[in-house]
């Protein structure tokens, strides 16, 4: 089971996107778990759940370099979700982006 975790400041809209992504994964019977968390819990989530990819909501894009310097050495891809895909809640495109990151990280 691959773990795709989304992080943002509050978690409301990111949770909606995570649900849409999970629905696409389930529809295609992909062994993927998608969940959303507050960016303040990133360290705890990484330590306890060991995600395969971390996606940041556009609203925390300004913290990208901070997260990469803190957690980039763990071998987990960290990227920012495309603002258009995020705004449109395009779960399929964001899920494909996450899968591409996982494959590139092998």
3-state secondary structure of 78: strand
Determine which one of 5, 6, 7, 8 is catalytic.
8
Cα gap 22→24, rounded to integer Å: 5
DSSP 9: S
3-state secondary structure of 101: helix
Cα gap 74→11, rounded to integer Å: 24
Specify whether 8 is catalytic: yes
Cα gap 10→31, rounded to integer Å: 27
DSSP 1: -
Which residues are identified as catalytic?
A: 8
């Amino acid at each position: 089971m691959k773990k795709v975790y989304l992080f943002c400041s509050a978690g409301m809209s990111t949770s909606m996107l995570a649900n849409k992504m999970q629905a696409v994964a389930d529809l295609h019977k992909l062994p993927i778990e998608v969940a959303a968390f507050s960016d303040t819990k990133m360290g705890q989530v990484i330590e306890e759940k060991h995600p395969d990819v971390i996606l940041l909501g556009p609203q925390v894009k300004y913290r990208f370099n901070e997260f990469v310097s803190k957690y980039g050495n763990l071998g987990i891809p960290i990227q920012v979700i495309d603002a258009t895909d995020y705004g449109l809640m395009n779960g399929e495109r964001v899920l494909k982006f996450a899968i591409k990151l996982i494959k590139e990280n092998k």
